[in-house]
Amino acid sequence: MAQKKETAHRAGVFQCNNCHEQFTVTVGTIFEDSHLPLRKWLMAFALLCSAKKGISALQLQRELEFGSYRTAWHMAHRIRHAMSREPMASLLKGTVEVDETYVGGKPRPGSDEKAKRGRGTKKTPVVALVERDG
């Protein structure tokens, strides 16, 4: 069981109760030893997963405003490697179809609840994945 170290030198550092070693939540993941913020990693995941025909490292560099192509190339390779390994590789095989929608109607007349405009919504997002011939 890990607890937050009382005199941690920086935020996000934990200490193991058994061996007393310090660690962060990124240990053992593709984010380990990366100086890039997790926000950039998550944006890269979104870009790589939402592009229908894939995305090049050069495009990733432009979109995430990296200083070098090499950074974007390594990030893209780490993400692709992580998606090809367990447990991701064993979940669905072959052709997978993905679709999303928002469920919910307009607010009732007379209610105090106003519909959000622009990018926000009070509707519930629903995502479905279907494996063809599976």
Can you tell me the mean pLDDT for 105-110? Answer: 75
Mean pLDDT of 116-132: 79
Q: Is the pTM of this model over 0.75?
A: no
> What is d(CA 58, CA 45) in angstroms, rounded to the nearest whole number?
15
Q: Is pLDDT larger for residue 7 or for residue 124? A: 124
Token representation of residue 28: 């053992």
pLDDT in tens, 58-102: 999 999 999 999 999 999 999 988 888 776 666 777 788 888 888
d(CA 5, CA 12): 9
Segments making up each domain of the chain, as ranges = 1-33
